[in-house]
Amino acid sequence: MCWLASGIVFGFAALKPVLVNEGVFGERCPSDWNPEPDDGGEFDIPCPEQDLRLNLFFVVGSITTNVSSLVAGAMLDRFGRRVCWMLASLYLAVGLILMGNAFAIPEFDGYLAGNIFLGLGGTFIFVPTFQLSNAFPRYAGLVVALITGAFDASAAVFLFYRLAYEASGKRFTPTHFFFGYLAVPLLIVAAEWTFMPPSAYQTTPEIEQKIKKALDPNLDIHQSDEEIRDDQTLWKVRKQRSRRREEKLHRIEAVAGGEEEREERMRAIEERQEVSGIWGVLHGLPAHRQMMTPWFVLILLLTILQMLRMNYFIATIRSQYRYMLDSEVGAEAVNQFFDIALPVGGVVSTPFIGFLLNNTSMTVVFLVLTILIVIIGILNCLPYLWAGYATVLAFVIFRPLYYSVVS
């Protein structure tokens, strides 16, 4: 369910042509505006006023998704995954109902509020899913990579809808889609109350403590043994306790791995920390002191700038290339390529990101980030179709890499 909801609002570039075609915020256009494309494009061209309002629609959703992560994390620590997922289902349902009614009732403007709730629902789904890595300590890195990939892949939801919208001759309206998508929060609730455990998965240190306890033969001896007078009976009782302890150890090791495997995993973690070159640089400092250091301030400023650039690019890619290429067909081609490349790029680039983070220092990682930032900036200024495709390719690699590095 994660990939169906966590980052749905970031598929805006694929949904925007549908919104324009459905006349969302079209009342803001002047009466003499001609929405028909002049060179064979498939969808209508929004007027500047409508375009700005649609971009605001995306901005409020993306800001909500990012800012609410702090609230979702705090609630996860305090109340656990189950409460977060129940809230996520509620937020998603409210957002979908608002969006569906906004399309069904022309007088009801619920688009901005609906997208805010979709962003909230995505965050409250996404943040708790990182705990799933604790369920599979032997494959924690793979699980985290899959979760991050699912977040990027969720942008494809609106792409699939747009394709269905086109294939149906525009009869599969947004009202049908958003009301039909209410099945997703219902499935999340059903999954949470059927096969998901009620409490959080135990962390690696907690599992290690259980293993130590299961290895301790002294636990086979209880004070109540003094009441047993027969040595044969006492031996059988303690043997049963020993067998249960060993069975418990085997069950834990089936999940966490054997002793050699756990030691190898710890060595790998220590090697990654050593390679990073900065591990432990802020250890021992209180939070307010950490936030006053250049480590935090500079990364915060970089994050603000790059989030602004990334969200601006997602919201305006079609408008940018319509202007630079002076062609609706060219802009449409770049937009369609981006719609596919964004979710696919997040998944395909996962092995590259994992290799980079696990085997190189933070200096090298940030050098790669800087090179990609410069490449995107240069390519995004060139008024050529090939440059548009190249910009998209660089962007879909940079975006998941940046999220992973900052994390």
Q: Could you tell me the CA-to-CA distances from 307 to 146, 177, 300 in Å, in that order?
A: 22, 29, 10
Rounded to an integer, the average pLDDT of 378-383 is 94
**What is the per-residue pLDDT for 255?**
64
| pLDDT surpasses 90 at 263 | no
Predicted confidence band of residue 21 (pLDDT cuts 50, 70, 90): confident
Q: Could you tell me the CA-to-CA distances from 224 to 208, 218, 235, 406 in Å, in that order?
A: 28, 14, 13, 55
**What is the per-residue pLDDT for 5?**
60
Predicted confidence band of residue 326 (pLDDT cuts 50, 70, 90): confident
**What is the per-residue pLDDT for 137?**
67
**What is the per-residue pLDDT for 394?**
94
**What is the per-residue pLDDT for 191?**
86
**What is the per-residue pLDDT for 63?**
87
Predicted confidence band of residue 141 (pLDDT cuts 50, 70, 90): low
**What is the per-residue pLDDT for 219?**
65
Between the ranges 56-60, 277-281, 354-358, 390-394, where is the mean pLDDT highest? 390-394
**What is the per-residue pLDDT for 226?**
67
**Average model confidence (pLDDT) for the chain?**
82
User: Which range among 89-93, 94-98, 157-161, 197-201 shows the weakest confidence by mean pLDDT?
Assistant: 197-201
User: Which range among 179-193, 233-247, 284-298 shows the weakest confidence by mean pLDDT?
Assistant: 233-247
**What is the per-residue pLDDT for 205?**
65
Rounded to an integer, the average pLDDT of 377-387 is 94
Q: Please, is 230 exposed, middle or buried when counting C-beta atoms within 10 Å of its C-beta (0-12, 13-18, 19+)?
A: exposed
**What is the per-residue pLDDT for 42?**
54
Predicted confidence band of residue 80 (pLDDT cuts 50, 70, 90): confident
Rounded to an integer, the average pLDDT of 67-71 is 87
| pLDDT surpasses 80 at 147 | no
Q: Distance (Å, rounded) from C-alpha 285 to C-alpha 79?
A: 27
| pLDDT surpasses 60 at 393 | yes
Between the ranges 73-87, 102-116, 356-370, 372-386, where is the mean pLDDT highest? 372-386
- Report the candidate in 189, 157, 181, 62 with the shortest Cα–Cα distance to residue 116: 62
Is the whole model's pTM more than 0.85, yes or no? no
| pLDDT surpasses 90 at 382 | yes
**What is the per-residue pLDDT for 35?**
61
